[in-house]
Amino acid sequence: MFDKLEKKSLVDQVYVQIEQRIKEGHWQVGERIPREAELMEQFGVSRNTLREAVRALVHVGLLSTRQGDGTFVTASSELSSVLQKRVQRSTMVEIMEVRHALDREAVRLACLRRTEEDLQAMDRYADLCQQYTDEGDVEAFVEVDMKLHQSIVAASYNGLLIDLYANLFEQIQMSILSTTEMSNDHYHTGHRDLILAIREQQPDRAASIVDNYISHFTGIIMERNL
């Protein structure tokens, strides 16, 4: 009985260590993890213990095995795995509605809790958004635009909200890409107005700005789906 408990504990330890390496970005989503022999040496465990831990990680969706190719990272956390599966069954409008809810609460909290460093980060990303717009670099714009929104969410200092937003990163980024109009001056003005509202700690004004740009982009999506 004690041997069984010890074995389970060892599997759990390996599970946690692999999970931690994924969360910390040592192994990125889409990357193949090291071969069995290398992992066995790193963790100092048997093949059976390692395989049991890997099977558990495959079960929760963090890893996937490909016959003949190896084992690959498929999600950055258990939360990310669950959300990705659910989002795959969602429409773009539904994703935008969830983004709306997260953005709206994030800006209200950011108005109350932001620091000068938070505001500097927002300004820096807003400047880059304008730069990439002027250069016509859509891919770079979308990446920086996402970082701008993440910097606002980070200023909420709500750990659960930050995790939810981070784990919806890919899907929210898709919503930004599908609704991006590089020549839309109103969008960039909205960036500046939103940052100003956060700087001046005006949560109602900030939430209203979020309402306006989400409504605008949701309208674009609905028009495209007609």
CATH number of 176's domain: 1.20.120.530
The residue count of the chain comes to 226
Residue numbers of the domain that contains 154: 90-224
Helix, coil or strand: residue 74? coil
Is 215 found in the same domain as 119? yes
Query: Number of folded domains in the chain?
Result: 2
Q: Do 36 and 50 form a contact (C-beta atoms < 8 A)?
A: yes
- 36-83 pLDDT tens trace: 999 999 999 999 999 999 999 998 888 999 888 899 998 877 777 777
Q: Which of 22, 40, 75 is the last residue of a domain?
A: 75
The confidence score (pLDDT) of residue 48 equals 94
Helix, coil or strand: residue 142? helix
Is 145 found in the same domain as 70? no
> Beta strands 70-73 and 63-66: pairing type?
antiparallel
In a domain, 82, yes or no: no
- State the Cα–Cα distance between residues 18 and 149, nearest whole angstrom: 29
The confidence score (pLDDT) of residue 3 equals 47
Is 128 found in the same domain as 164? yes
Give the closest residue to 122 by CA, choosing from 43, 194, 55: 194
Is 103 found in the same domain as 212? yes
Question: DSSP class of residue 127?
Answer: H
CATH number of 65's domain: 1.10.10.10
Q: Tally DSSP H helices, then E strands, for the chain.
A: 11, 2
The confidence score (pLDDT) of residue 95 equals 81
* Residues of the chain with confidence (pLDDT) below 50: 1-7, 182-183, 186
The confidence score (pLDDT) of residue 72 equals 94
Is 45 found in the same domain as 138? no
Q: Which of 49, 75, 101 is the last residue of a domain?
A: 75
In a domain, 84, yes or no: no
Give the closest residue to 113 by CA, choosing from 199, 175, 16: 199
Q: Which of 75, 105, 121 is the last residue of a domain?
A: 75
Give the closest residue to 139 by CA, choosing from 182, 91, 96, 99: 182
Q: Do 10 and 16 form a contact (C-beta atoms < 8 A)?
A: no
Query: End-to-end CA distance of the chain, in Å?
Result: 63
The confidence score (pLDDT) of residue 127 equals 93
- State the Cα–Cα distance between residues 170 and 57, nearest whole angstrom: 21
Q: Which residue has the tokens 């192994």?
A: 27
Is 123 found in the same domain as 24? no
